[in-house]
Amino acid sequence: MRILLVEDEKKLSELVARALRQESYAVDVADDGTRGWELAETYDYDLIVLDLMLPGIPGEELLRRVRRRNQQVPILILTARDATQEKVSNFEAGADDYLTKPFAFAELVMRVKALLRRGPVARASVLRVADLELDRLTQQVRRAGKRIELTPKEYALLEYLASSPGRVFSRTMIIEHVWDQSFEGLTNIVDVYVRHLRAKVDDPFPLKLIRTVRGVGYGLGAAPDA
């Protein structure tokens, strides 16, 4: 999988490239719009990550040109502006997803993955993390064979964490996926739910599955590199 990253902030582009390469993607970096267009014209990318504020060809223009040339390639927009009107016009111009700075890198990786496996992907109906089992159809949770009763919100939170075991999700990501935009900034609600979830899912068992990474967020299951 080859990804084109067009981002003029050098440090940011290095970080994004590193995060994507860690996921075993091949990443080409262009640091202005003109170079980005050259690369996009020359190679067939599986995905383009595009900053909107670019020297040379502006991001919006690049977006339109790429879309004219290639209808299929998914495009993920990075921007420091998040006015809704702008968002809408960029989706109309052919953007597939939109991330507003400052974003969590875990979020970026998740979205890239989601865009790359778009289409009818068979989702497993049962998620398993260690001895924890989530049935997506019945929304039932069992641990070590014992049924655990969860409220719908608790279930949604657990399912989100279980969707990518080992990964750490930021509170903002959790808020955006499990709650809605108007809870933005009220990340303490996540802490409360995680505590409740822990009481039901972890406390009765010796192996603790829900992990807190200070300053980052929560994850389910052991960290891949720890």
Partner 1 sequence: MNARSLSFRLVAWYAGVLTAVFVLLGLLTFFFLRHYLEANLLDNQTRRARQIAGTLVAHVRRDSEASMASEVESLYSPQINDRFIRISRADGQVVYASGAPRDEAFDPARVAPLAGDFFQSSTRKVSLPGGVLLIAAVPATGSDGTLYRVEVGTSGAQAEDTLAQVLLMLAVGLPVAVAVAIAGGFVLVRRALEPVERMALKAEEITQHSLSERLPVVESGDELERLSVSLNHMIARLEDAIRGSKQFVADASHELRTPLTVMRGELESLVQNGRLERDVREALGSVLEEVGRLGEIVESLFALSRLDAGETSGGWQRLDLAELAATTAGQMSLLATDKEISLSCDSAAAVTVEGDRARLKQVIVNLLDNAIKYTPRGGHIALSVRREGAWAVLEVTDDGIGIPPDALPHVFKRFFRADSSRSREPGGAGLGLSIVKSICQAHGAEVEVRSAAGKGSTFRVRHPLATEAARS
> Of residues 113, 142, 196, 198, which one binds partner 1 by CB under 8 A?
196
* Binding status of residue 134 toward partner 1 by CB under 8 A: no
* Binding status of residue 214 toward partner 1 by CB under 8 A: yes
Structure tokens at 130: 């260690």
Closest CB to partner 1 among residues 133, 219: 219
Of 72-101, which residues contact partner 1 (CB under 8 A)? 80-85, 100-101
Amino acid (1-letter code) at residue 112: V
* Binding status of residue 105 toward partner 1 by CB under 8 A: yes
User: How many residues form the binding site for partner 1 (CB under 8 A)?
Assistant: 45
Could you tell me if 49 and 16 are in contact, meaning their C-beta atoms sit under 8 angstroms apart? yes
CB of 221 to partner 1, least distance (A): 13
* Binding status of residue 199 toward partner 1 by CB under 8 A: no
What is the crossing angle of helices 152-162 and 188-201, to 10°? Answer: 90
Could you tell me if 209 and 220 are in contact, meaning their C-beta atoms sit under 8 angstroms apart? yes
CA distance 138 to 44: 42
Closest CB to partner 1 among residues 72, 181: 181
Closest CB to partner 1 among residues 163, 212: 212
Give the count of beta carbons closer than 10 Å to the beta carbon of residue 161. 28
Could you tell me if 163 and 199 are in contact, meaning their C-beta atoms sit under 8 angstroms apart? no
By C-alpha distance, which of 117, 146, 120 is closest to 133?
146
* Binding status of residue 189 toward partner 1 by CB under 8 A: yes
Could you tell me if 2 and 45 are in contact, meaning their C-beta atoms sit under 8 angstroms apart? yes
- Run of H or E residues at 98: strand 97-100
* Binding status of residue 160 toward partner 1 by CB under 8 A: no
Choose the stretch contacting partner 1; rule: CB under 8 A; options: 30-38, 127-135, 137-145, 173-181: 173-181
Q: Is 32 helix (H, G, I), strand (E, B) or coil?
A: coil
* Binding status of residue 152 toward partner 1 by CB under 8 A: no
Alpha helices in 135-212 (DSSP H): 152-162, 171-178, 188-201
> Of residues 42, 71, 138, 182, which one binds partner 1 by CB under 8 A?
182
* Binding status of residue 208 toward partner 1 by CB under 8 A: no
Of 10-39, which residues contact partner 1 (CB under 8 A)? 11-12, 15-16, 18-19
Which residues here bind partner 1, judged by CB under 8 A? 9, 11-12, 15-16, 18-19, 80-85, 100-106, 153, 168, 171, 179-189, 192-193, 195-196, 213-216, 223, 225-226
